[in-house]
Amino acid sequence: MAKISMKVNGKTVSGDVEPRTLLVQFIREHLGLTGTHVGCDTSQCGACNVHYNGEAIKSCTILAVQADGSEVVTIEGLAKPDGTLHPMQAAFREYHGLQCGYCTPGMVMVAVDIARRLPGADEETVREELYGNICRCTGYQGIVEAVMAGSEAMQTGVLPLKEHH
C-alpha cells in the first residue's frame, strides 16, 4: 500500500492505495466522486477525463501514486458551489450535447480543455480534438456545437443560444 495525497476540486485529500490503483479508481472508489466514468479498458473512450495539473487527461492512463502531489479537477468541481453551471456545462444543455449522460463528464472536461487551449477553434478542429472521446447517443453534433458555443461563452461571458428551424 502507498500513501498518497493530492488536491481534488480544491480540497486536499489523501489515501492508502495499492500501487496498481489507477487514478480513476482512486477518484471513484476512494473519494466517492462517481461523476467520472469508466467506459472501456483500453483508454479509448474518454469517459474518465479529468483535469490533471490543468490539462485534460484520461484518468485511466495514470496510476494514483503517480498523481501524488498533483492538482485534479473532476466534473464535480466544475460548477460553482451554488450550483451555477460552468459555461461549458450550460452549453451542453443548450445544444443538447448529451443524452444518456455517461460519456458526458469526460466530454465536458475535454471541451473545457479545448476551449482553453484553442479558443475560437473551428468545427473541424473541434471534431479532431474530440477523437479520444466516444459518444454513442448524440451523433456528436450537439457536442460539437456545444464546444464551440461554450468556448465562446468562456471568453465573452455570453452563451450564444441554439437556433431552431
Partner 1 sequence: MGQYGIGQPIRRKEDARLLTGNGRYTDDVNLDGQAYVYFLRSPYAHAKINEIGLADALAASGVIAIYTSADLIADGVKPIPCEANAKSLKGVPLFKPPRHALAFERVRYAGEPVAMIIAETYNEARDASELIQIDYEELPAVADTSRLADADAPVVWDDLDSNVGLHWETQESAVSEAIFKTAYKTVELDLLNNRLVGNPMEPRCAVSHHDAQTGRTTLYAPSQGGRRVINAIAKDILNVPPQSLRMVSLDTGGGFGIRSKTYPELVLMVWAARKQPRALKWRADRGETFVSDAHGRDQSTKASAAFDKDGKILAVRNETIVNVGAYLSENGAILAMMGGGKIMGTAYDVPVLYFSVKSCFSNTVPTDTYRGAGRPEVNFIMERLIELGAEAFGISSIEMRKRNFIREFPYKTQMGCLIDSGDFPGTLDMTLEKGDYAGFEARKAESKARGKLRGIGIGYYVEGAGGRPFEEMRVRFEKDGKVKIFAGTFSHGQGHDTVYSQLLNEYLGVDASKVELIQGDSDTSPKGAVGTFGSRSSMMGGVAIKRASEAIVEKGKKIAGHLMQTEPTKVTFKDGVFHGGSSSVTLEEVARAAQDPSKLPEGLEGPLDESYYYERQGESQNFPNGCHLIEAEVDPDTGTVEIVKFTAIDDCGTVLNPLIVDGQVLGGIAQGIGQALVENTVFDNETGQLLTASFMDYGMPRASDFPMIGIYFNSVPSPTNDLGVKGAGEAGACGAPPALVHAALDALKGYGIRHIDMPLTPEKVWRAIQAAKSGKAA
Site string for partner 1, 22-41 (x = CB under 8 A): -----------xxxxxxxxx
Asked whether position 11 contacts partner 1 by CB under 8 A, the answer is no
3-class SS of residue 109: helix
Task: List the one residue from 85, 116, 118, 121 that touches partner 1 (CB under 8 A).
Answer: 85
- Residue 128 C-beta: closest distance to partner 1, Å: 5
- Residue 95 C-beta: closest distance to partner 1, Å: 9
In whole angstroms, what is the distance from residue 68 CA to residue 7 CA?
A: 9
Of the candidates 86, 92, 91, 82, the one whose C-alpha atom is nearest the C-alpha of residue 74 is 86
> What torsion, rounded to 10 degrees, do the Cα atoms 139, 48, 78, 14 define?
170
Asked whether position 74 contacts partner 1 by CB under 8 A, the answer is yes
Task: List the one residue from 139, 155, 156, 158 that touches partner 1 (CB under 8 A).
Answer: 139
Cβ atoms within 10 A of the Cβ of 42, count?
Answer: 6
3-class SS of residue 4: strand
CB neighbour class for 104 (10 Å; exposed up to 12, middle 13-18, buried from 19) = buried
- Residue 164 C-beta: closest distance to partner 1, Å: 5
- Alpha-carbon Rg for the chain in angstroms: 16
Give residues 94-113 in contact with partner 1 (rule: CB under 8 A). Answer: 94, 96, 98-105, 108
Give the binding range for partner 1 (CB under 8 A) out of 51-59, 62-70, 71-79, 151-159: 71-79
- The contact set with partner 1 (CB under 8 A) reads 33-42, 44-45, 47, 74-76, 78-79, 83, 85, 89, 92-94, 96, 98-105, 108, 123, 126-128, 130-131, 133-144, 162, 164-165
